[in-house]
Structure 1
Amino acid sequence: MSTNTQKVLIIQDASKELCNVSIIDALRSLSLRPGAKVKLLGIIQAFRTVHRFYPLRCGIGSKSRLHSSATINKKREDIKQEVQQMTDEYSRCALIARICKQAETLKVEFDIAVEAGSLKEVSVEYAKNFGATHLILPRNLKKNKKYFMDNLSCAIYRMKIDSSLETVRGVEAAEVSVLSSGTHFNPENCEQREETFEISLCSVCMNRRAGIGVQTRDFTYAELNLATNGFSQENLLPILGKKIYRGQLNDLQKIMIREHPFKTIKEKDFKTEVQILGKVRHENVAMLLGSFSKGTHRLLIYEFVCNGSLSKHLSDKSRALTWERRLNIANGTAKGLEYLHGKQIYGSVRPSNILVTHDYQPLLSYFGLARSQYEDLDQSSETRLLKTFEYLPPEYEGTGLDLSKADVYSFGVVLLELITGRKTIGDTDGQSFLRWARPSLRQKKYMELIDPAVQDSVDIYQLYWIVRVADKCLSWNPNSRPSINKLVKDLECIVNHCGAEDFSLTESELMAAMSS
């Protein structure tokens, strides 16, 4: 047996409902290599009697109570029969059959086993004997995480109620644990993880984010051609100024394919950029899954985000964009931006680059390195659009651009769009967006700014603070704008109704005071 083989042990409390969707999603999120071995271990707790008020437990729950009357010897016979019966049920189960079929698609081996005893003790013993590299625990073992950490050195996850995986100990931490214990460990088994976060599942379309352990790779043209049905028009996303296709890979992973915005980028620079961006992992940032490069063609492959861009929702005057959702989009976007700035990645702040799920979780996408977002912006066809909506800061065409403060300014424009709704020239009496908005900011006519679509549901307290934050971001002087870290703290406070830390006058308020 190769020491490189990934071995995944999934623990199932045999008295609980079996959900094939959870197991399939778990397998996909771990990004298993072909040839990996997966085993589902159903554990019957040794001193419980199962009452069959319900039929087959494979898909339908069963009830159990502590057994108090049988002798130990009799109970052993009962347990033996129960193990055999559960093994037979699993082998005939339609849900198990579906998991097997998905395992074939993923090119991994799948098997089942049934044991009896203490849930946590049997899990640990079996994991050691199986040589598990990954252990997935049921959600009812939440209180026993320390026990598994102390007794096992493999990567450990816990299934949550929404079928996502909580990382108890990631693969990198598992490597450290194994090395410290003197056990042999092969680094090829270790996925690279810079961040750990909950893998979200869209509650509407059930689209699942890519697993956080996914590594970027080089895609072939044949793969991308097949995924997009020959780059058909029906898979071309309606995003102004961009050519982006959606697709689906053989493992059912949904993707977005975008041409690199700067076609003159050299192959070496493109590969370097992909290598850096491929390490970006955050709950509010769309993952770069890989790339394709041949001749003059430079394609970036991202995870698919199911509900389009914020720009689309603003332009469509979507009533689904409630006040609460607008605040959450602002808050999540700021967190994603803070993370990108920590990686020295700037210039991604505009509504067309903020994608949302049907749950209105925002993910920054189509981001790039600083040189390809600001320094090379004049090469991009987006420059005219950015100037039209004034996302670029006033100091853009000057010298000594502070990239972080420039992004904060752009975020301020996005924030103002969330507050007011996307305005047309007709809405602003022929004025530019910011020229129309600034007088209301100076005069504190906040209710004149609010989008009529949410006017009846807006929280006045939150409106007051969110407008002040936007006004701060839009300061002409970069030094007067908040840092991205402070911006995140202020928005978090506003969402949670605790105000913001800075009570100083905004630039608009100072101008109003000077003119009065």
Structure 2
Amino acid sequence: MATGAQQHHVSFRLAAGLLLLVSLLAPLAAAQPPWWVCGSTGSYAENSTYQSRLNQLSATVPTNASRDLYAIATVGAAPEIVYAVALCRGDTNAPTCESCVAAAFPEAQQLCGFDKCVTVFYDDCILRYSNKDILADSSNGNLTMIMSQQNVSSPVKKVFDDAVAMLLNATANYAAMNTSRRFATGEQGFDSRFYPTIYGLVQCTPDMSPAACQSCLGDIIALTPQLSGRQSGRIIGVRCNFRYDLDKFFVGDPTLRLQTPFVPAPNNGMPTSTPGVISSEVCVIFTGTKNKMKIVALPVVAAMLAIAIFSLCFLRRRLAREHMPSSDSTKPEDFEGIGSLLLHLSTIRAATDNFAESNWVGQGGFGAVYKGVLPDGQEVAVKRFSQGSGQEMQELKNELVLIASLQHKNLVRLIGVCLEEHEKLLVYEYLPNRSIDTILFDPEKSKELDWGRRFNIINGIARGLNYLHEDSQLKIIHRDLKASNVLLDSDYTPKISDFGLARLFAGDQSQEATNSVVGTYGYMSPEYAMRGHYSVKSDVFSFGVLILEILTGRRSSGSYSFDESVDLISLVWEHWTTGTITEIIDSSMRGNAPGDQMLKCIHIGLLCVQDNPMDRPVMSKVIVMLSSGTVSLQAPLKPEFFIPKSGTYSSTFPGSYPRASQSTSKSQSVSSNEVSIAEMESR
């Protein structure tokens, strides 16, 4: 006789079968059913510990997924441990994501009964839970292939298939190599006589490395011959997926737009109008992938053409920059493509009351900053560069060229520029809470920064930095990330500012060297301070220092003399190794913040300030570590590098860097805490 659990199991199976039957008989139903895969790792009993822990996950994972469109979690311990992974489509919003994942939990149990391992695929999200460690499993799992029953016209079938392959390969390459979310959409023009446009979407889980994502997508794109001639198709796995369709199915503008391929002239009897709407789909389940052949010929040709065009534009801009005047004779036409940003000097003078002292809000090495109000009522911060300084002129050019092309919620927004008479002015959005250092290191104001705000600031800086390194069209190394260069808006959202020392890297460039070191003591990475080598890992080091400052409320001043107090990094390391880290946490947070989260942030900070740049994580990995409660962190290595306040760079470890008694031959000028040496090389 069957047990109660077995009877429920059978009833769930029957319900799932009926649901599938209904979905096939009623294709026009408003609610589209999901596709699912029931596992074979065992079953659990009703009201068991496993089910209870599954219910715990269903209460937390949807909300967590809505924050970053991705969530991983575990509950319990073996043998009743439950792992869960939720991935929402990259163009969905937070409410849609949360709603989809929340609905997936009960529906997964309805579809697969008491199976311990279930994967459910929706248009907007994917949910997988299991009693096996799926978080450590990099395989793409069972694949679900979905295709339209509507075929493309026979005469253009080959061209259509090639266009789909080119679209998916180009979009996959962009998603894997140029975004931290591992998501991209694409648009491929075709022929209005048949199908005006083909739309595509690809996605990997964001914890995958660029190479792993590219490989995963390559494996499933290699299966597109099995979708040959279909007007729409998709292959969904637990790690990566793609979709193409003749109807635009994603939200927003496409990430990529590909040119229309050549389509032969129509023969007699060939249709000359766009076919009707897709009416139904067929679902096929695969348990493995045997065909590993990748379709790369057309994308390679397209990539080579794109590189050639980029190189010509790059050379043109480089020649233009090399011939830029370095004196006050600079004219607006020296800055290419800023016409829409130009503001009249009279407008800025009126906005700042002719740079009145009462509107002065700050001073930097470049000059002064004034608050102003434009005629439309918008508050702005006006950066007024010093007169007659070649260094400031170079920084203005550098900052304008870079910041004008960047758009991200965690980067300060450029509103306008003025280059009239002898004035050189940059106009930014005004951020009322000014820079972090003005609050963080003030005993009274620091109380405004509770744990929630500090964590959001850390997370926001990480996302802004990751955008510079990976997600923007340009690859940018900031080179001067510090507390005074991170501004806070009225909601304490952080925005990275001051790109005067930033550097633009080519897409495949990973490191550069300079003979003139620029930046701020206390934030410089060892390889940069000692040898002038900078890369994205140099910014990661500075970010790690910022984390330690934000959590301790102490400055990293760059003073490492033996007769003075120990430097911040060494102080944190000492307390980390002795288990007394809470003693140096900012007193305003003690007892009012989750200890485990603070320890994790300190841990991440120490990983970022490791001496060897290869040991530091990239920013996309930092974001995953910050947002996940289950990712295991490796043990940080002891930081050994130090910089005496005299400006002589030294190290306690021999070999890669000069010994303590040696000074570098780098050109440098030290004033206060700044190394203010202008250097901008055209690239």
TM-score by length of 2: 0.39
Which residue of 576, 593, 600 maps to 1:441? 576
| Aligned counterparts of 1:442 and 1:347: Cα–Cα separation in 2 | 30
Return closer, same or farther for 1:368/1:170 CA change in 2, 3 Å cut-off: farther
Corresponding letter in the other structure for 1:252:
G
Match of 1:74 in 2: none
For 2:545, the equivalent position in structure 1 comes to 413
SS at match of 1:258: strand
Q: How many residues in Structure 1 have an aligned counterpart in Structure 2?
A: 297
2:459 corresponds to which residue? 331
Alignment of 1:259-298 (within 5 A): 259-260=384-385, 263-264=389-390, 274-294=400-420, 297-298=423-424
Q: Aligned partner of 2:460: which letter?
A: G
Find the counterpart in structure 2 of residue 475 from structure 1.
610
Tell me: CA distance 1:237–1:474, structure 2 relative to 1, closer, same or farther (3 Å).
Answer: same
CA distance in 1, matches of 2:395, 2:550: 36
Q: Give 1:279 deviation, angstroms.
A: 1.9
Which residue does 2:103 correspond to in 1?
none
How far did residue 422 of structure 1 move? 2.6
1:263 to partner: Cα distance: 3.7
Q: 1:253 is aligned with what amino acid?
A: Q
1:304 aligns with 2:304: no
Gap change, CA 1:430 and 1:232, over 3 Å in 2 = same
Q: Map residues 251-266 of structure 1 onto 2, 5 A cutoff.
A: 251-260=376-385, 263-264=389-390
The alpha-carbon distance between structure 1 residues 287 and 376, as it changes in their structure 2 partners (threshold 3 A), is farther
The 1:215–1:324 alpha-carbon spacing in structure 2 relative to 1, beyond 3 Å, is farther
Matching of residues 94-113 of structure 1 within 5 Å = none
Structure 1 counterpart of 2:371: 246
Counterpart amino acid of residue 247 in structure 1: G
How far the C-alpha of 1:399 sits from its partner, in A, is: 3.2
Whether the aligned pair in 1 keeps the contact of 2:347 and 2:374 (CA below 8 Å) is: yes
1:370-414 per-residue CA deviation (whole Å, 9 max, x = no partner) reads 34999899697xx5xx21xx0111222333623210100001111
What is the Cα deviation at residue 508 of structure 1? Answer: 2.8
Q: In structure 2, how many angstroms separate the alpha carbons of the residues matched to 1:352 and 1:375?
A: 25
Unaligned runs of 5+ in 1: 1-166, 183-213, 512-516
Pairing of 1:329-478 with structure 2 (within 5 A): 329-342=457-470, 343-345=474-476, 346-368=478-500, 370-371=502-503, 383=519, 386-387=520-521, 390-399=522-531, 401-423=533-555, 430-478=565-613
Please list the CA deviations of residues 4-62 of structure 1 after superposition, one character each: whole Å capped at 9, or x if unmatched. xxxxxxxxxxxxxxxxxxxxxxxxxxxxxxxxxxxxxxxxxxxxxxxxxxxxxxxxxxx
Which secondary structure state, in structure 2, belongs to the residue aligned with residue 397 of structure 1? helix
Measure how far apart 1:266 and its partner are: 9.0
Corresponding residue of 1:21: none
**What is the rounded CA distance, in whole Å, between the counterparts of 1:464 and 1:332 in structure 2?**
19
Q: CA deviation at 1:272?
A: 7.0
2: distance between equivalents of 1:452 and 1:267?
Answer: 43
Seen in structure 2, the aligned counterparts of structure 1 residues 393 and 216 have a Cα distance that, compared at 3 Å, is farther
Q: 1:306-331: CA deviations, max 9, x gaps? A: 21110111121320100111001000
Residue 228 of structure 1 and its aligned partner are, at CA, apart by 0.4
Structure 1 partner of 2:637: 507
Q: Given the superposition, is the C-alpha separation of residues 296 and 430 from structure 1 closer, same or farther in structure 2, using an over 3 Å criterion?
A: farther
1:234 equivalent in structure 2 = 358
- Native 8 Å contact 1:446 1:463 kept in 2: no
Which protein is bigger by CA-based radius of gyration?
2
Q: Distance in 2 between matches of 1:423 and 1:509?
A: 17
Post-superposition offset of 1:434: 2.7
Corresponding residue of 2:343: 219
Letter in 2 for 1:507: L
Q: Is the 8 A contact 2:402 2:499 kept in 1?
A: no
- Hey, what does 1:197 align to over in structure 2? none
Cα distance in 1, alignment partners of residues 465 and 493 from structure 2: 14
Matched position secondary structure for 1:471: helix
Q: Distance in 2 between matches of 1:294 and 1:376?
A: 33
- Residues 151-176 of structure 1, C-alpha deviations (whole Å, 9 max, x = no match): xxxxxxxxxxxxxxxx9756999xx9
More displaced, 358-367 or 325-334? 358-367
Between the aligned residues of both structures, percent identity stands at 28
Mapped partners of 1:269, 1:239: distance in 2:
15
Match for 1:314 among 414, 417, 440?
440
Please identify which structure carries the higher helix content: 1
**Letter of the structure 2 residue corresponding to residue 431 of structure 1:** V
Taking structure 1 as reference, are residues 420 and 360 closer, same or farther at Cα in structure 2, changes over 3 Å only?
A: same
SS in 2 for 1:307: coil
